[in-house]
């Protein structure tokens, strides 16, 4: 049985993170280094320095690599507190894609790779990116369409392909590339490869304009042109890339939920404060049911989201893969948080459409969250397939 109680030490850490974000990080939200493609690396390094000084850097990483070694349930409360500002996870170095990459490297990488890639990443000396998504007809929601090739050439692989929507590629210290490995005509299967950045053979074609703007480096369109990597650049085993992707994605879906729950809470607080002071027709907006009920529904959605996150985090802490449960959580939470953001814009009225508050930006980020790490439709499809298998209708 899941015990949802938060012990005193975890509550103190949560409160410390929340205070750090409010006092140290929120003032940076008007910094000109926060661009339409996310915070610049100069801003990211400065924020990381503040978190490092506060003893809050990389809370999810094992202490051996410089983190706090938090469990998934502990991450749930800390990441939510960090997410109260979009810059909070950047500061604590627990934002995507780095957070998911760090988790995967801890599980899959060999010791030499951990020292070469994980340790500098965990200590925020570098950023990373994960290159899987491809333009049509390559892999998107269906990883089986993976078109990027890695052809064996002696003791090297030569990689060619095209990737896009690669978060953080511009300015990253290394890239993890998903490609289909071949030995001659033999298809060895989807495989992950490391490549330091910059590298001959990796070219950023453009930075893509996007609805969201919270990720350092933005989202890049990347060309892989005869990229030559040694055989020891393989992450894990050849042909196991899709399995490793699932090891990365199940926790990563949940940590996105944690962080964006914090952002939705921020939008809700802003909207509630506005509704309590703004007068209309002789009384505060919150006393009009059309407004007050929207804020009440926000509370309901946050309550359900928080419980959902905690339950799946508990499963991960028990060693379960929780693939099915994390899919359900991604749909439940992303759609609930989007409803919260939408209501907050509505409660604020005209001011909610402007950048006078953070609500407009949070709303855009919450809308984007319904797409990445699997859109709701793909997760529903996977859930339905599982139901069919349970009934013996599918092999």
Quick: pLDDT tens for 321-378: 999 999 999 999 999 999 999 999 999 999 999 999 999 999 999 999 999 999 999 9
* Distance from the Cα of residue 391 to its chain's centroid: 34
| Residue indicated by tokens 């009934």 | 391
> Which has the minimum average pLDDT: 84-93, 228-237, 383-392?
383-392
Superfamily for 242-390? Butyryl-CoA Dehydrogenase, subunit A, domain 3 (1.20.140.10)
> For residue 278, with 0-12 CB atoms within 10 Å meaning exposed, 13-18 middle and 19 or more buried, which class applies?
middle
Quick: pLDDT tens for 56-104: 999 999 999 999 999 999 999 999 999 999 999 999 999 999 999 999 9
Average pLDDT over residues 309-315: 97
Q: Crossing angle for the helix pair 289-317 and 72-82, nearest 10 degrees?
A: 150
**Which residues have CB under 8 Å from 106's CB, separation 6+?**
61, 62, 65, 114, 118
Model confidence band, residue 3 (pLDDT cutoffs 50, 70, 90):
confident
pTM: 0.96
Model confidence band, residue 230 (pLDDT cutoffs 50, 70, 90):
very high
Q: Is 379 left (phi over 0), alpha (psi -120 to 50) or beta?
A: alpha
Superfamily for 128-239? Butyryl-CoA Dehydrogenase, subunit A, domain 2 (2.40.110.10)
The ranges assigned to domains in the chain are 8-122, 128-239, 242-390
Quick: pLDDT tens for 176-220: 999 999 999 999 999 999 999 999 999 999 999 999 999 999 999
Identify the pLDDT of residue 209. Answer: 97
Average pLDDT over residues 23-38: 97
Identify the pLDDT of residue 242. Answer: 95
Q: Does domain 8-122 have CATH number 1.20.120.1080?
A: no
Average pLDDT over residues 163-168: 98
């Amino acid at each position: 049985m899941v015990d949802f109680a938060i012990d005193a030490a975890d509550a103190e850490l949560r409160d410390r993170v929340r205070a750090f974000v409010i006092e140290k990080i929120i003032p940076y939200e008007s910094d000109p280094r926060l661009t339409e493609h996310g915070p610049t690396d100069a801003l990211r390094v400065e924020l990381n320095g503040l978190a490092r000084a506060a003893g809050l850097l990389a809370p999810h990483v094992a202490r051996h690599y410089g983190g706090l070694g938090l469990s998934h349930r502990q991450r749930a409360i800390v990441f939510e507190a960090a997410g109260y500002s979009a810059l909070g996870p950047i500061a604590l170095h627990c934002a995507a894609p780095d957070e998911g990459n760090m988790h995967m490297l801890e599980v899959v990488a060999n010791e030499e790779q951990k020292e070469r890639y994980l340790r500098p990443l965990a200590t925020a000396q570098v950023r990373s990116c994960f290159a899987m998504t491809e333009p049509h007809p390559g892999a998107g929601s269906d990883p089986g369409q993976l078109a990027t090739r890695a052809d064996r050439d002696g003791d090297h692989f030569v990689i060619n392909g095209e990737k896009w929507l690669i978060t953080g590629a511009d300015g990253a210290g290394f890239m993890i590339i998903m490609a289909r490995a071949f030995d001659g005509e033999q298809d060895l299967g989807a495989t992950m490869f490391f490549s330091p950045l910059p590298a001959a053979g990796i070219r950023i074609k453009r930075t893509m304009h996007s609805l969201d703007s919270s990720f350092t480096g933005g989202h890049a369109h990347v060309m892989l042109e005869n990229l030559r990597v040694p055989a020891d650049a393989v992450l894990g085993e050849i042909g196991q890339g899709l399995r490793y992707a699932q090891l990365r994605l199940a926790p990563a879906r949940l940590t996105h939920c944690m962080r964006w729950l914090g952002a939705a809470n921020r939008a809700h607080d802003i909207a509630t404060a506005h509704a309590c002071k703004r007068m209309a027709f002789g009384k505060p907006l919150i006393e009009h049911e059309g407004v007050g009920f929207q804020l009440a529904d926000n509370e309901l959605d946050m309550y359900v989201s928080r419980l959902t996150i905690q339950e799946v985090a508990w499963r991960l802490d028990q060693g379960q893969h929780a693939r099915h449960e994390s899919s359900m959580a991604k749909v439940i939470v992303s759609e609930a948080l989007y409803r919260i953001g939408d209501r907050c814009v509505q409660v604020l009225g005209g001011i909610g459409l402007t950048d006078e508050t953070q609500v407009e930006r949070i709303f855009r980020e919450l809308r984007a969250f319904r797409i990445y790490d699997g859109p709701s439709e793909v997760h529903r499809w996977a859930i339905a397939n599982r139901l069919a298998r349970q009934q013996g209708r599918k092999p």
